[in-house]
Structure 1
């Protein structure tokens, strides 16, 4: 097991394309991937031309409130898509608590045996479990993993993911870089709702109401109205209150760009929407993907009627091409309240219901029936490479009028509720034959059932893994006792002197976004002179801006002598290794070690220490076997966003400011724009405080305790330090201190 950066594996599979490679790659068929929030939506998607659907089962999916099918219906859905030559991916894309990991094997096993085509995962523990227990089941890395570049994609490839679902915020150029350098399939969203926050980095719904987006229970807080305050001044127009509500994504005009950037699977969002919506959107994207693949850019043109059709299906305030060609922008936001009523396009809806939702999809087969007097009836069926010969009852001699070829074919053509229809059916009749209608029906039924079984047989699997389900590797760490370290995370340089001069603090994290690189070595030296460790806090989001920043300041980074780095993105371990930057890695709570297997994976990826997740309660934290750092004070980042409220309501002057979002209840949430890396953080209205819970914290035996300062002044920082050190280190009861605070999830947890 790894305990430092120097032993992190080299995980990038480099692949550079030539111009001819690109042209050949683009000509390959792309996948239209449709949402299926129900069995009916799945059928509508297949009828409308989807190559694959993604659907949740009864558990562990990121749309817990969709009409997710139970086991029997989901098994039927797997067979349905396979009979029609399509694929089904199961969403297992939530973070798992330790007790849930024990249920995962029995949950997945029947779907695996039925022929499930892939699982979509967010949790590293789930990824590890699937690779171990079902090694031939493809794994797709969910957009919830916040994959924003080459290093993260390469890491997931090394861990066994065949496909990466990119963060919605990536540009075409960034996607192209992944395609060029990592041998992994790329899936990207092309239509539907956009989250305001980077997926996997949102705690807003969780902290406000206990409904975690990481657990498929998002309450869509971003669709609510907020006032933006700058001091006592309200910014923007009175009606511009929906500042976190993004327009829906629509990429019809840039489909050629998306495909040429390397996207193989074009993903449509909408598992909470109706079968009618699914069918309509899929049919349009099927049309234009095929148009581009057939005629190229020269013959590609989008019809205005198709744009209108998509708006008629759903319109919350306009559409946007998203982030593919711009980093953010005011024009991507809805701003105003969605109209309470819009007249529906009844003609469109009737067409979609008739042609897709209610349509019974049939696969063409060819057949030949042999009816010879005195011999058994024979039906030969052919569907692509599958050929079935079925024997029926004995053909009798007609006593009166022999059966005609016309009558035989008419009866056999009645395929009813089956998945097949005859595109060609012949009859060879020898003699004066008679066969009861019931016998003909039985022959057809058994023949089509045998054909269906033959088609589905190639998808069936037997579970062959000899390891016991849930078998775990040895954990080298165990809970420890003894003196607990106090660590401090700082975003504001003006608080540094206050913290570095406090004798109780053993480690300081300074934020790369706000502590100037030219003085990094001074900060480190000052820490070391006072017997403290100094770590650099890496950005929440590591994209082009971050890579360019660290390349500009690579000498300062190497010469600073940091003891290590607080890792907050999947991209960062790989970047630091490739750049030759040495030091211990502490993985922050946003790296999500929610269960023991996930924590083991983080250690194998190079973590020297782990920060315990902030969405687990104390009883759940007890189940984690690797000691972690526990956050005991600080404003939690509720959202990390590519959008910038300062830019949207005022201007982009590359000046970090702190604004406040005021909700309908009068709560104010600080918003800070980190211009260095071009992202925003929206913090909770009240800081997390575990003051008064010293005994509960101590019983967990954390490796260290962290105080996280974001918007506090030096004076406030000094007061917090003193009170928390008194209780957690010196055994003094602090009593009342903060007028407003939250226990976060330490007591209540999440659903």
Structure 2
């Protein structure tokens, strides 16, 4: 167990979401220590109401007034033509005193550090930080905090904290993404709505059929194979504190203010109970109220380890609220049910027949009866009652005995929650200490100290003190007058009186002093922090227009691109058959990207015999304790490593530095190639990764052709490799489809490894089968059924100086590998046009081919 003896209540931050002003007030009123919010651009909740950049000063004054920190979400990838606007927003954040920005894009981190050395940056969960090494990678850039991936369990969180020693923020409540944050390309592939741009279309919440070896597997009423339950870790608050978590993050910038008030107040109480020595968990009523605000069913997610059976229910994708029971009998005006939760008139219900894709009956409870007699008030669980529904709400003929009943709304609860922030009173008050000094003929001098902030103001009377004839000023009178702080942020905790003789001043003057002191202290609370600015960091600094037609002003300087005459081509293979085929072509390098590392030696032997360099691909995720995988890669002595995450990159860079320091003879460190999953979307990110030591960089799959060209014009393209052809990897998940739906087990220790015997795919609503593949860490990748080709843009890329092009295969035969590689070689050499390649691929592929995100 981590030593928590020194942890104080003040060390733990409760971080709440705010999609609008009502939510922000609800968060502050119910005990949040910090709030995260977005403005109209550059945040991962494009569908939220969001705030305006011009509101930043007002927002920060409001939050700081109550001692609450404000973090701006800047957690998306930033495209080349947006860097200037991004700089303007960062500048506004610095000026307004925003307490930190939450950032995904490492290029943006680089730009912020060029503007200010001390402006706080938090690494977003979309940086896919899941290991101590990934945390270490961020340290040279001065990140103040990291938000860990939601797939980390408690043991891993503790290990990351002990090794990396950087404050950790962890999600504790709200919706779970089935895919690793920052690694989901599904919305991008299917609709040009990138999750890395805040435009997630929630494809994980859609129904899918499970296909096993091409045959449909009947699943009964289970259709939502990728739709996880919601995270609720309120009963794990002690374990999280003892694991070293310093910030408890609540998801929900698209949720209602009632949701924010409800969840924040419950976690506030749980944290306070821990530090009060109360080890009782949440009450049954508290859990029900959490479910009522929003719930797809609650789970601990991955915090207690992987349990695929508990993570995904599969029968519904949306919030249900509180489970009430099942229909036992249908009456002419309602149903009979043995209720498993309290119920009262006015509550909202929905009747669940097992198919959420069809219209569901539901409405308000009109009456409650037992044996025909009306029941008043709230009826407790455990009672068998008659639930009378409004005649216009529910078509009782569409109900069935056995249908599940859910309580979807509780107006009384909502009213109670709204009352916490719909009030004229201050949301919080703070203790103040007052010292009073004076003597006859001199002004009354008062010193007021805000004991929460430690700030002091001095307010003196506007008239001299006179000698008292009747009731002189003293402790009692001054406590009465200075204690009347209602309506302000303060209450009087300490009063020290040092008066010489019997003196007096009008009570109206004491009232004025009290009001002025409170106002001055409040203004001091609202003052923004000041951050250092570097020379040349002004937004007005010269910026050069990107040379593409219609492009807006961008940061950076156009690179001196030289058209490539002899481009290199590489092939990524996922089977040994594909490797054997690829080595017979003129590709410059083979990438081996196998499900199981035990196949790597055979691939290396094939390449060595053919005289072809080989690169071994790392997994996309790096967890604590997984460096053995990377040691094995180095022991196999590949020519290169395809690096897919910053944790692995840190490991390889450290190994390279150690070899150079030791001067180990005959040990050549492999070339390091950064893959698409590093999310490179602007020239500053290219520069950052090249500066840290990557030999080659692969741009993000989020870029369309215009955005790609914008970046290539400003980046050093000489060490860039573009992927021209692939099955796009859409979902990348810790949730295993094979384990959940093809075995009796709960995780890799007891699933029986069905992935080694069969091939699964997910069939969508239009009949496309999307292959599901497993990596060495038992993580799943769902690939798009249709291949994507960028062949039509080869000429553009060559003219911009891109020297290397990758062709990726998934299930293709050796013969197909030959055919596809020859097509692209012809295009790269100018013997055929990219359009001809595209048409040929479309004609020969059963499912066709797509241009994918490049034309979004």
TM-score by length of 1: 0.86
> Does the residue aligned with 1:536 lie in a helix, a strand or coil?
strand
Q: Specify which of 262, 266, 286 is matched with residue 306 of structure 1.
A: 286
> Does the residue aligned with 2:137 lie in a helix, a strand or coil?
helix
Q: Kindly tell me: are residues 563 and 476 of structure 1, through their superposed partners in 2, closer, same or farther at Cα, counting changes over 3 Å?
A: farther
The alpha carbon displacement at 1:480 in A equals 5.1
Matching residue of 2:615: 535
Q: Specify which of 561, 571, 586 is matched with residue 488 of structure 1.
A: 571
Matching residue of 2:699: 612
Paired residues of 2:107 and 2:684 also in contact (CA < 8 A): yes
Q: Please say if 1:632 is aligned against 2:731.
A: no
Matching residue of 2:676: 589
1: CA distance, partners of 2:505 / 2:309 = 80
Q: Please say if 1:233 is aligned against 2:333.
A: no
Q: Specify which of 293, 301, 320 is matched with residue 299 of structure 2.
A: 320
2: CA distance, partners of 1:477 / 1:162 = 36
2: CA distance, partners of 1:28 / 1:455 = 18
Q: Please say if 1:169 is aligned against 2:151.
A: yes
Cα deviation, 1:201-251, whole Å, max 9, x if unaligned, reads 001111211111111111212112122222453324232111111100011
Q: Please say if 1:681 is aligned against 2:813.
A: no
> What are structure 2's unaligned runs of at least 5 residues?
321-349, 351-361, 363-406, 542-554, 660-667, 744-750, 843-847
Q: Kindly tell me: are residues 169 and 20 of structure 1, through their superposed partners in 2, closer, same or farther at Cα, counting changes over 3 Å?
A: closer
Q: Kindly tell me: are residues 155 and 255 of structure 1, through their superposed partners in 2, closer, same or farther at Cα, counting changes over 3 Å?
A: same
The alpha carbon displacement at 1:153 in A equals 0.9
Paired residues of 2:56 and 2:92 also in contact (CA < 8 A): no
Paired residues of 1:31 and 1:52 also in contact (CA < 8 A): yes
Paired residues of 2:159 and 2:624 also in contact (CA < 8 A): no
2: CA distance, partners of 1:729 / 1:677 = 39
Paired residues of 1:409 and 1:426 also in contact (CA < 8 A): no
The alpha carbon displacement at 1:163 in A equals 1.1
Paired residues of 1:586 and 1:608 also in contact (CA < 8 A): yes
The alpha carbon displacement at 1:132 in A equals 2.7
1: CA distance, partners of 2:444 / 2:222 = 74
Q: Specify which of 751, 760, 764 is matched with residue 663 of structure 1.
A: 764
Q: Specify which of 551, 557, 568 is matched with residue 644 of structure 2.
A: 568
Q: Please say if 1:722 is aligned against 2:813.
A: no
Matching residue of 1:461: 530
Q: Kindly tell me: are residues 182 and 371 of structure 1, through their superposed partners in 2, closer, same or farther at Cα, counting changes over 3 Å?
A: closer
Q: Specify which of 166, 190, 203 is matched with residue 184 of structure 1.
A: 166
* 1:635-650 correspondence to structure 2 within 5 Å: 635-650=727-742
TM-score by length of 2: 0.76
Cα deviation, 1:151-180, whole Å, max 9, x if unaligned, reads 111111232112111110012121121111
1: CA distance, partners of 2:46 / 2:234 = 29
The alpha carbon displacement at 1:275 in A equals 1.5
Paired residues of 1:545 and 1:677 also in contact (CA < 8 A): no
2: CA distance, partners of 1:20 / 1:513 = 35
Q: Please say if 1:353 is aligned against 2:440.
A: no
Q: Kindly tell me: are residues 571 and 27 of structure 1, through their superposed partners in 2, closer, same or farther at Cα, counting changes over 3 Å?
A: same
2: CA distance, partners of 1:83 / 1:351 = 25
The alpha carbon displacement at 1:515 in A equals 5.7
Matching residue of 2:449: 382
2: CA distance, partners of 1:387 / 1:22 = 33
Paired residues of 2:727 and 2:783 also in contact (CA < 8 A): yes
1: CA distance, partners of 2:450 / 2:695 = 57
The farther-off stretch of 47-56 and 542-551 is: 542-551
Cα deviation, 1:466-494, whole Å, max 9, x if unaligned, reads 23347899999955522111111111222
- Larger-Rg structure: 2
Q: Kindly tell me: are residues 425 and 348 of structure 1, through their superposed partners in 2, closer, same or farther at Cα, counting changes over 3 Å?
A: farther
The farther-off stretch of 605-614 and 529-538 is: 529-538
RMSD of the alignment, in Å?
3.4
Paired residues of 1:671 and 1:683 also in contact (CA < 8 A): yes
Q: Kindly tell me: are residues 433 and 680 of structure 1, through their superposed partners in 2, closer, same or farther at Cα, counting changes over 3 Å?
A: closer
Q: Kindly tell me: are residues 259 and 426 of structure 1, through their superposed partners in 2, closer, same or farther at Cα, counting changes over 3 Å?
A: closer
The farther-off stretch of 379-388 and 143-152 is: 379-388
Higher relative contact order (CA 8 A, sep 6+): 1
> Does the residue aligned with 1:154 lie in a helix, a strand or coil?
helix
* 1:341-490 correspondence to structure 2 within 5 Å: 342-358=407-423, 360-364=426-430, 365=432, 381-384=448-451, 385-391=454-460, 418-420=488-490, 433=506, 446-457=516-527, 459-461=528-530, 463-469=532-538, 479=562, 481-490=564-573
* 1:514-553 correspondence to structure 2 within 5 Å: 514=596, 516-517=598-599, 520=601, 523-544=603-624, 546-551=626-631
The farther-off stretch of 713-722 and 468-477 is: 468-477
The farther-off stretch of 591-600 and 409-418 is: 409-418
The farther-off stretch of 685-694 and 149-158 is: 685-694
2: CA distance, partners of 1:201 / 1:130 = 24
Q: Kindly tell me: are residues 247 and 497 of structure 1, through their superposed partners in 2, closer, same or farther at Cα, counting changes over 3 Å?
A: same
* 1:67-106 correspondence to structure 2 within 5 Å: 67-106=49-88
Cα deviation, 1:114-138, whole Å, max 9, x if unaligned, reads 3222111111011122223121222
1: CA distance, partners of 2:670 / 2:465 = 87
* 1:187-206 correspondence to structure 2 within 5 Å: 187-206=169-188
2: CA distance, partners of 1:594 / 1:252 = 37
Paired residues of 2:675 and 2:698 also in contact (CA < 8 A): yes
> Does the residue aligned with 1:324 lie in a helix, a strand or coil?
coil
Q: Kindly tell me: are residues 476 and 694 of structure 1, through their superposed partners in 2, closer, same or farther at Cα, counting changes over 3 Å?
A: closer
Q: Kindly tell me: are residues 543 and 375 of structure 1, through their superposed partners in 2, closer, same or farther at Cα, counting changes over 3 Å?
A: closer
2: CA distance, partners of 1:374 / 1:68 = 57
The alpha carbon displacement at 1:278 in A equals 1.0
Paired residues of 1:373 and 1:432 also in contact (CA < 8 A): no
Matching residue of 1:509: 591
Paired residues of 1:192 and 1:269 also in contact (CA < 8 A): yes
1: CA distance, partners of 2:443 / 2:152 = 64
Matching residue of 1:12: none
Q: Kindly tell me: are residues 477 and 607 of structure 1, through their superposed partners in 2, closer, same or farther at Cα, counting changes over 3 Å?
A: farther
2: CA distance, partners of 1:102 / 1:495 = 44
The farther-off stretch of 233-242 and 486-495 is: 233-242
2: CA distance, partners of 1:272 / 1:84 = 24
Matching residue of 2:384: none
The alpha carbon displacement at 1:642 in A equals 0.4
Cα deviation, 1:549-591, whole Å, max 9, x if unaligned, reads 445xx3xx44533111111111112223455682111101110
Q: Kindly tell me: are residues 456 and 432 of structure 1, through their superposed partners in 2, closer, same or farther at Cα, counting changes over 3 Å?
A: closer
2: CA distance, partners of 1:295 / 1:410 = 36
> What are structure 1's unaligned runs of at least 5 residues?
1-18
Q: Kindly tell me: are residues 477 and 183 of structure 1, through their superposed partners in 2, closer, same or farther at Cα, counting changes over 3 Å?
A: farther
Q: Kindly tell me: are residues 512 and 293 of structure 1, through their superposed partners in 2, closer, same or farther at Cα, counting changes over 3 Å?
A: farther
Paired residues of 1:138 and 1:162 also in contact (CA < 8 A): yes
Matching residue of 2:840: 737
> Does the residue aligned with 1:737 lie in a helix, a strand or coil?
helix
Matching residue of 2:855: 747
